[in-house]
Amino acid sequence: QVQLVESGGGLVQAGESLRLSCAASGSIFSINAMGWYRQAPGKQRQLVATITGGGSTNYADSVKGRFTISRDRAKNMMYLQMSSLKPEDTAVYYCNIRYIGAYGLVRDNWGQGTQVTVSS
Protein backbone atom coordinates (compact mmCIF):
# COMPACT_ATOMS: atom_id res chain seq x y z
CA GLN A 1 0.00 0.00 0.00
CA VAL A 2 1.33 3.40 -1.04
CA GLN A 3 0.25 6.54 0.76
CA LEU A 4 0.28 10.03 -0.71
CA VAL A 5 0.23 13.30 1.21
CA GLU A 6 -0.29 16.63 -0.53
CA SER A 7 0.84 19.96 0.84
CA GLY A 8 1.46 23.52 -0.29
CA GLY A 9 -2.06 24.72 -0.87
CA GLY A 10 -3.31 28.03 0.39
CA LEU A 11 -4.91 31.35 -0.42
CA VAL A 12 -3.25 33.51 -3.08
CA GLN A 13 -4.20 36.38 -5.33
CA ALA A 14 -4.69 36.08 -9.07
CA GLY A 15 -1.41 36.23 -10.94
CA GLU A 16 0.64 34.77 -8.11
CA SER A 17 2.43 31.43 -8.00
CA LEU A 18 2.18 28.39 -5.77
CA ARG A 19 3.95 25.04 -5.62
CA LEU A 20 2.18 21.90 -4.49
CA SER A 21 4.07 18.90 -3.15
CA CYS A 22 3.15 15.23 -2.95
CA ALA A 23 5.09 12.89 -0.69
CA ALA A 24 4.88 9.18 -1.46
CA SER A 25 5.56 6.36 0.98
CA GLY A 26 5.10 2.61 0.99
CA SER A 27 6.11 -0.34 -1.12
CA ILE A 28 6.34 0.39 -4.82
CA PHE A 29 7.67 -2.07 -7.34
CA SER A 30 7.33 0.30 -10.26
CA ILE A 31 5.40 3.45 -11.11
CA ASN A 32 3.24 3.55 -14.20
CA ALA A 33 2.25 7.18 -13.81
CA MET A 34 1.66 9.97 -11.33
CA GLY A 35 -0.52 12.99 -11.67
CA TRP A 36 -2.32 15.95 -10.25
CA TYR A 37 -6.09 16.29 -10.39
CA ARG A 38 -8.43 18.92 -9.04
CA GLN A 39 -12.04 19.16 -8.02
CA ALA A 40 -14.01 22.36 -7.63
CA PRO A 41 -17.27 22.47 -5.64
CA GLY A 42 -20.10 20.91 -7.60
CA LYS A 43 -17.82 19.64 -10.34
CA GLN A 44 -16.20 16.34 -11.29
CA ARG A 45 -12.57 15.66 -10.51
CA GLN A 46 -10.52 16.51 -13.57
CA LEU A 47 -7.01 16.00 -14.86
CA VAL A 48 -4.50 18.77 -14.30
CA ALA A 49 -1.21 17.12 -15.28
CA THR A 50 0.35 13.66 -15.44
CA ILE A 51 3.85 12.29 -15.70
CA THR A 52 4.66 8.71 -16.67
CA GLY A 53 7.38 6.51 -15.28
CA GLY A 54 9.37 7.35 -18.37
CA GLY A 55 9.01 11.09 -17.80
CA SER A 56 6.41 11.95 -20.44
CA THR A 57 4.06 14.73 -19.35
CA ASN A 58 0.52 15.69 -20.23
CA TYR A 59 -1.44 18.80 -19.28
CA ALA A 60 -5.02 19.93 -19.38
CA ASP A 61 -5.51 22.70 -21.93
CA SER A 62 -6.65 25.06 -19.19
CA VAL A 63 -3.29 24.91 -17.41
CA LYS A 64 -0.90 24.34 -20.30
CA GLY A 65 1.86 26.92 -20.27
CA ARG A 66 1.14 27.91 -16.66
CA PHE A 67 1.63 24.71 -14.66
CA THR A 68 4.60 22.35 -14.59
CA ILE A 69 4.61 18.82 -13.17
CA SER A 70 7.86 17.28 -11.98
CA ARG A 71 9.26 14.43 -9.90
CA ASP A 72 12.22 13.94 -7.60
CA ARG A 73 12.81 10.21 -7.39
CA ALA A 74 15.55 10.51 -4.77
CA LYS A 75 13.18 12.30 -2.40
CA ASN A 76 10.03 10.36 -3.35
CA MET A 77 8.31 13.63 -4.16
CA MET A 78 6.16 15.02 -6.93
CA TYR A 79 5.48 18.69 -7.51
CA LEU A 80 3.09 20.94 -9.33
CA GLN A 81 4.46 24.42 -9.96
CA MET A 82 1.57 26.76 -10.66
CA SER A 83 2.08 30.24 -12.06
CA SER A 84 -0.24 32.99 -13.28
CA LEU A 85 -2.98 31.57 -11.11
CA LYS A 86 -6.57 32.43 -11.94
CA PRO A 87 -9.72 32.35 -9.78
CA GLU A 88 -10.94 29.43 -11.89
CA ASP A 89 -7.97 27.41 -10.62
CA THR A 90 -9.63 27.33 -7.20
CA ALA A 91 -10.17 23.70 -6.21
CA VAL A 92 -8.99 20.87 -4.03
CA TYR A 93 -5.89 19.41 -5.67
CA TYR A 94 -5.18 15.69 -5.40
CA CYS A 95 -2.06 13.66 -5.99
CA ASN A 96 -2.53 10.33 -7.76
CA ILE A 97 -0.25 7.37 -8.38
CA ARG A 98 -0.77 4.30 -10.52
CA TYR A 99 1.78 1.66 -9.62
CA ILE A 100 2.59 -2.02 -9.38
CA GLY A 101 2.64 -3.14 -5.78
CA ALA A 102 2.47 -6.37 -3.82
CA TYR A 103 1.64 -9.55 -5.71
CA GLY A 104 2.27 -7.74 -8.95
CA LEU A 105 -1.07 -5.95 -8.75
CA VAL A 106 -1.72 -2.62 -10.41
CA ARG A 107 -2.98 -0.14 -7.85
CA ASP A 108 -4.35 3.39 -8.04
CA ASN A 109 -4.15 5.57 -4.94
CA TRP A 110 -5.05 9.14 -4.05
CA GLY A 111 -3.89 11.62 -1.48
CA GLN A 112 -6.24 13.48 0.83
CA GLY A 113 -6.11 16.69 -1.18
CA THR A 114 -4.94 20.23 -0.53
CA GLN A 115 -7.06 23.34 -0.98
CA VAL A 116 -5.99 26.03 -3.42
CA THR A 117 -7.97 29.26 -3.39
CA VAL A 118 -7.23 32.06 -5.84
CA SER A 119 -8.86 35.40 -5.16
CA SER A 120 -9.37 38.15 -7.70
Q: pLDDT of 17-50, one tens digit each?
A: 999 999 998 877 788 899 999 999 999 999 999 9
pLDDT in tens, 6-21: 999 999 999 999 999 9
- Tell me how far apart the alpha carbons of residues 71 and 80 are, in angstroms, rounded to a whole number: 9
Q: Are strands 114-119 and 10-13 parallel, antiparallel or unpaired?
A: parallel
Buried b (16+ CB within 10 A) or exposed e, 29-49: eebebbbbbbeeeeeeeeebb
